[in-house]
Amino acid sequence: MSHNTFGHLLRMTTWGESHGPAIGCVIDGCPPGIPLAAADIQTFLDLRKPGQSRFTTQRREPDTVEILSGVFDDDKGRQVTTGAPISLEIRNVDQRSKDYGEIRDKFRPGHADFTYWEKYGIRDYRGGGRSSARETASRVAAGAIARKVIPGVSIRGALVQMGPHKVDRSRWDWDAVASNPFFCPDAETAHTWEGYLDGIRKSGSSIGAVIEVVAEGVPSGWGAPLYGKLDQDLASALMSINAVKSVEIGAGLAAAELTGEDNADEIRMDNEGNPVFLSNQAGGILGGISTGQPVVVRFAVKPTSSILTPKLTIDRFGQETEIATKGRHDPCVGIRAVPVGEAMVAFVLADHFLRHRGQCGV
């Protein structure tokens, strides 16, 4: 199975299966001299880890990360990156492979079971193997390192829609994100989601969602025309996350309904002689290059395909059958996708920072 690596100057390669002994990643191209302790990575893994509320999968994984390589003590006694590949390992401790007997031969509609089987003719069905979102823990770990490469950039994500229920943007409060189990920036909507998702969860169903990630402090100039656009790489990074079905930058799909006047992000000069944009329909990117405004991206995730309701399918012997998926699943994958989306945005930005420095030297 090829294509497990993402990035250009900063590269991550993830490895491991959902029910194997461990998962992890190797980060190559990280600059030397950056203070890095396991705790710096653990903070972000703790946000993504399962079983933290009744609204996520009840698999109990501590997601404890170990740094195996690429760090050493500097003259001040701090553990810093050396420039060598950084290898990270997260042990799997709560596999329950017997729950997956049903999908050993049957394909879950909406999951990767059918396509993996068609392509490779062999499939680690336990927990979905490599197609499991357990892999996204490695991305979050890689993203934590990426953040350290660009310490001046703040990257924050929030769940902005669950099923038909959208947040009220007039009540947007970043502080609220940490105060509810949904990463919701609107406390009132979080309350609505609680009852709504309880209903979905108890009926054994699932629901889709939309996540927004905002990066502030990105200077103008990161990105490249024409085949290394910042928005292109962000879309690729976010689309590579399991269950993502669409990505928007700035006004996104809604731009199709705007006139040129409404879409124009007019420019003035402030008192210090700096350009100021009067709006940000572009989501902080023009011509594939950052404008200096916040970079704003959204992505939609589909509902979890592993549901209790029996659905029509086939098995690997070509027989028609039905499947109702047991095991522990996220009723709304969008919740835990928030830290994953942040991590992928951080990784793309850090990679583009290094690429910009490589070409332009600043």
Ligand X SMILES: Cc1cc2nc3c(=O)[nH]c(=O)nc-3n(C[C@H](O)[C@H](O)[C@H](O)COP(=O)(O)O)c2cc1C
Quick one: tokens of 189? 């909507």
Residues numbered 213 to 242 that lie near ligand X (CB under 6 A) are 241-242
Nearer to ligand X, 99 or 315 (CB): 99
Distance of alpha carbon 343 from alpha carbon 155, whole angstroms:
8
Q: Are 327 and 126 in contact (CB under 8 A)?
A: no
Of 13, 14, 18, 57, the one binding ligand X (CB under 6 A) is: 57
Nearer to ligand X, 67 or 333 (CB): 333
Does 306 bind ligand X (CB under 6 A)? Our answer is yes
Identify the CA nearest to 247 among candidates 269, 223, 229: 229
Where is 52: in which H helix or E strand? Answer: none
Does 92 bind ligand X (CB under 6 A)? Our answer is no
- Single out the segment in contact with ligand X by CB under 6 A; choices: 23-31, 169-177, 247-255, 328-336: 328-336
Does 18 bind ligand X (CB under 6 A)? Our answer is no
Dihedral over alpha carbons 319, 323, 328, 333 (to 10 degrees): 100
Q: How many CB atoms lie within 10 A of CB 140?
A: 27
Of 133, 142, 145, 289, the one binding ligand X (CB under 6 A) is: 133
Identify the CA nearest to 341 among candidates 133, 201, 150: 133
Convert residues 94-113 into a mask of x (bound to ligand X by CB under 6 A) and - (unbound): -----------------xx-
Quick one: tokens of 65? 């990360």
Does 136 bind ligand X (CB under 6 A)? Our answer is yes
Nearer to ligand X, 251 or 338 (CB): 338
Nearer to ligand X, 78 or 302 (CB): 302
Nearer to ligand X, 140 or 146 (CB): 140
Sign of CA dihedral 198, 18, 119, 2: positive
Does 304 bind ligand X (CB under 6 A)? Our answer is yes
Of 106, 139, 336, 356, the one binding ligand X (CB under 6 A) is: 336
Long-range contacts of 350-353 (CB under 8 A, 24+ apart): 350/10, 350/146, 350/147, 350/149, 350/150, 351/7, 351/8, 351/9, 351/10, 351/11, 351/146, 351/233, 352/222, 352/223, 352/224, 352/230, 352/233, 352/290, 353/149, 353/150, 353/222
Ramachandran angles phi, psi of 172, nearest 5° = -60, 125
Does 130 bind ligand X (CB under 6 A)? Our answer is no
Distance of alpha carbon 142 from alpha carbon 237, whole angstroms:
13
User: Total residues contacting ligand X (rule CB under 6 A)?
Assistant: 20
**Min separation Cβ 87 and ligand X, Å:** 23
**Sequence-separated (6 or more) residues with CB below 8 Å from residue 106:** 113, 313, 314, 315, 316, 321, 323
Does 201 bind ligand X (CB under 6 A)? Our answer is no
Distance of alpha carbon 32 from alpha carbon 84, whole angstroms:
8
Does 337 bind ligand X (CB under 6 A)? Our answer is yes
**Min separation Cβ 193 and ligand X, Å:** 16
Does 243 bind ligand X (CB under 6 A)? Our answer is yes
Nearer to ligand X, 145 or 323 (CB): 323
Does 340 bind ligand X (CB under 6 A)? Our answer is yes
- Single out the segment in contact with ligand X by CB under 6 A; choices: 74-82, 131-139, 214-222, 289-297: 131-139
- Single out the segment in contact with ligand X by CB under 6 A; choices: 93-101, 139-147, 285-293, 330-338: 330-338
**Min separation Cβ 304 and ligand X, Å:** 4
Does 293 bind ligand X (CB under 6 A)? Our answer is no
**Sequence-separated (6 or more) residues with CB below 8 Å from residue 96:** 59, 327, 328
Nearer to ligand X, 167 or 209 (CB): 209
Whether the link from the prior residue into 238 is cis, omega within 30° of 0, is no
Residues that bind ligand X (CB under 6 A): 57, 111-112, 131-133, 136, 241-243, 302, 304-306, 329-330, 333, 336-337, 340
